Amino acid sequence: LSFACSIFSFSAKLDGAQCYGALGGTVDIQLMDSTSEIPRYHLLKDSLKILLSVRDNTVLYNTIAHRSLLFPSNGTFRINNLSRNDSGDYTLETFDSNGRSSGVRTLKLFIQGKCWEIYVFPLRYSTMYCK
């Protein structure tokens, strides 16, 4: 299992990872490499609210369906039009075919003001600034 966040070419496949998104922007959260091997999973926000519930690659529940997409082929959940309310702790809980919990991963998402990237050509690195 991996729980990663990919924003502006930033990626971290660690439990407890921290990710940043820009207000009004988009964030791609990689829940796992592929959802085909996981019979059921939930994505919770702040340990209480189930954002997404999936069984056998069928979305049963998505509280933000109007601004999100799930890509089962690569295990990515995309949230568009980010607001400050999207900041928080996200927990992915997976279940085996018998309905028993088979894993939990967490990620902390911070939504900041508008962001921009500055690329320093001679040194070939970029820096993200947000206000």
Q: What domains does the chain contain, in order, with CATH numbers?
A: 4-130 (2.60.40.10)
Report which of residues 124 and 110 the model is more confident about.
110
Output the six-digit token pair for 61.
């529940």
| Model confidence pLDDT, tens digit, residues 69-121 | 998 888 889 999 999 999 999 988 999 999 999 888 888 898 887 665 555 55
Spatial separation of the C-alpha atoms in residues 91 and 93, rounded to whole Å: 6
Cβ neighbours of 3 (radius 10 Å): 25
Spatial separation of the C-alpha atoms in residues 104 and 90, rounded to whole Å: 10
